[in-house]
């Protein structure tokens, strides 16, 4: 069940999602709280697991990985041991940014950032083709990113 947040918590979360390195003093000014009250609220949000982590988001183009590939994977069966084996192995693939168990036609949807089609061919050859229990795999290359954010609506 989602937690209930007051307006101040929502303002804090909205700012931190966009400016994770903001100082507590700057944050407290933006949300109209004293620095100590602001710090306590942020600590509570961290302790409650609402703020899961602070990270640096890298620019995929500057990192030499401008190609986004989505891979739909259908397994041979939905047997628990096969799902477990697949998930264990897919978690070891260094090039995968996301892997989701899906409802619908594919069992899993994977997001990969690659240098280009040759790099994706390498990833496919070295890792994806060796994943256990795969019956079918379909890859789609993104032509352009229209919307991309890590910020949840609060």
- 38-56 confidence digits (pLDDT tens): 999 999 999 999 999 999 9
Taking only the tens place, the pLDDT of each residue in 106-119 is 999 999 999 999 99
- Which architecture, in CATH terms, is 7-47? Orthogonal Bundle (1.10)
Q: State mean pLDDT over 6-16.
A: 96
| Residue 2, pLDDT above cutoff 80 | no
Residues 61, 98: Cα–Cα separation, whole Å: 18
What is the domain class of 67-141 according to CATH? alpha beta
Q: Which two tokens stand for residue 60?
A: 């995929």
| Residue 1, pLDDT above cutoff 70 | no
Q: List residues bridging with 136 in a β-sheet.
A: 74
| Torsion, Cα of 69, 111, 107, 83 (10° steps) | 130
State what percent of residues in the chain have pLDDT above 90. Answer: 97
Hey, where are the domains in the chain?
7-47, 67-141
């Amino acid at each position: 069940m989602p937690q209930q947040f007051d307006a101040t918590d929502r303002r804090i979360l909205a700012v931190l999602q966009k400016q994770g390195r903001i100082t507590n003093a700057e944050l407290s000014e933006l949300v109209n709280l004293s620095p100590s009250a602001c710090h306590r609220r942020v600590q509570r949000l961290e302790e409650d697991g609402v703020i899961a982590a602070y990270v640096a988001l890298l620019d995929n183009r500057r990192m030499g990985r401008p190609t986004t590939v989505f891979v739909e994977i259908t397994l041979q069966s939905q047997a628990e041991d096969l799902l477990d084996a697949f998930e264990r192995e897919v978690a070891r693939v260094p090039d995968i940014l996301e892997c989701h168990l899906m409802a619908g036609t594919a069992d899993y949807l994977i997001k990969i950032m690659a240098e280009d089609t040759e790099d994706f061919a390498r990833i496919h050859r070295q890792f994806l083709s060796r994943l256990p229990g795969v019956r079918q795999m379909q890859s789609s290359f993104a032509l352009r990113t229209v919307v991309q954010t890590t910020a949840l609506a609060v």
